[in-house]
Amino acid sequence: MTGSTASRISHPGQRRSDGLPVVLRKARFPYASGWIRGCAVMLSLLFASEGTAEEAVREPLPLWEMGLFFGAISLPQYSGSDEYSFYAIPLPYLIYRGEILRANRDGVRGVLLQGQWMETGLSFGGYPPVPEENDARRDMPRIGAILEGGPAVNVFLRGRDHPDPFYVALALRGVISVSPDNLDLAWRGLHGDARLVYHNHTWLKEQNISMGMNTGVDFANRRYTECFYEVASEYTTPERVEYSPSGGYAGFNAAFYINKRLSSHWLLACYYRWTCLSGAAFVDSPLVETEHNHMVGLALLWTALQSERLSMYTVE
């Protein structure tokens, strides 16, 4: 069971000028068959919410922390879709501050070289499967969970030890998809991004509030865009014409978060992300139903265990 179907409130493919979703197909709560999908989304919120405990201070912190994450998130079924999915689930979470391996709000990454002004390493990411009930892709091959990994560089504009970090983040990741039917892996190309990132921990420090934002652009090669936006001749319909996308610019995005530390064990995190596909290489695809997407998330984190061993490494 994955939820109950809501009635349609617009015609297929209709767009609103403000970019808000005009279709609510399902409110999805990940029970048995949706467990893996829900886990992927909830962990994405945890790592993308830009707000875990280690960012509040600049001093030695536990090497690792473990706890529970209670979250809810609404996100598009893929970039350009006007159909949204909603997930709510409790999950365990881990923060790790190793010399090479780090796990935090941005996901799991490996740090290869680190200096006062620059850091190089590996970044990883992902996205849940596109539901088979998606209207735009009806009767088309399913897109499984997306997993990404590759090199990354952070350039710190005010030095790495500044209490309010401000830096440029560059990444290029290889992409694979995992079939939801038999767990087969398929190569999906390359996906990269360039972001300007800012975290503020001092403005409302006395109120135990931190906040930040990032903005940037995405790029992808043709193999990647074909995965989401190609319409082969055998899948055409009167409303879905044949289309072959190219690679290149893949959209602009801006995100904002705010966190409130409620106690030494509890943290409340809110997250919002806006994506604009205007001018993207694949924007003319019939599978792009809107040029604007919105992701909203809310999470409550409970830290249950932490190591006695401290680490001087941060996971910004």
Taking only the tens place, the pLDDT of each residue in 186-230 is: 999 999 999 999 999 999 999 999 999 999 999 999 999 999 999
The predicted pLDDT at position 160 comes to 83
**Closest by Cα among 172, 171, 197 to 255:** 197
Q: Contact, 134 vs 143, CB < 8 A?
A: no
Mean pLDDT of 279-303: 96
Q: pLDDT over 90 for what percent of the chain?
A: 55
Mean pLDDT of 97-111: 59
Cα 171 to Cα 51: distance, rounded to the nearest angstrom: 20
Check the CA dihedral 105-296-214-164 and report its sign.
Answer: negative
The predicted pLDDT at position 284 comes to 97
Please state which of the ranges 40-44, 88-92, 161-165, 202-206 shows the lowest mean pLDDT. Answer: 40-44
Domains of the chain by residue range: 35-262+273-311
Q: Hey, which of 46-55, 84-93, 244-253 has the most confident mean pLDDT?
A: 244-253
Q: List the beta bridge partners of residue 94.
A: 66
Is the per-residue pLDDT at 125 higher than 70? yes
pTM attached to this predicted model: 0.78
Please state which of the ranges 138-142, 222-226, 305-309 shows the lowest mean pLDDT. Answer: 305-309
Cα 47 to Cα 299: distance, rounded to the nearest angstrom: 11
Residues 55-91 have pLDDT tens digits of: 333 567 787 788 888 889 999 999 999 999 998 878 8
Cα 134 to Cα 281: distance, rounded to the nearest angstrom: 22
The predicted pLDDT at position 58 comes to 52
More confident residue, 9 or 15: 15
Mean pLDDT of 156-184: 92
DSSP 185-253: EEEEEEEEEEEEEEEE-STTGGGTEEEEEEEEEEEE-HHHHHHHH-B-GGG--SSS--B----EEEEEE
Is the per-residue pLDDT at 315 higher than 60? no
Is the per-residue pLDDT at 54 higher than 50? no
Mean pLDDT of 91-118: 68
More confident residue, 125 or 42: 125
Is the per-residue pLDDT at 151 higher than 50? yes
The predicted pLDDT at position 312 comes to 63
**CATH domain 35-262+273-311 topology:** Lipocalin (2.40.128)
Res. 99 pLDDT band, cuts 50 70 90: low
Mean pLDDT of 131-141: 94
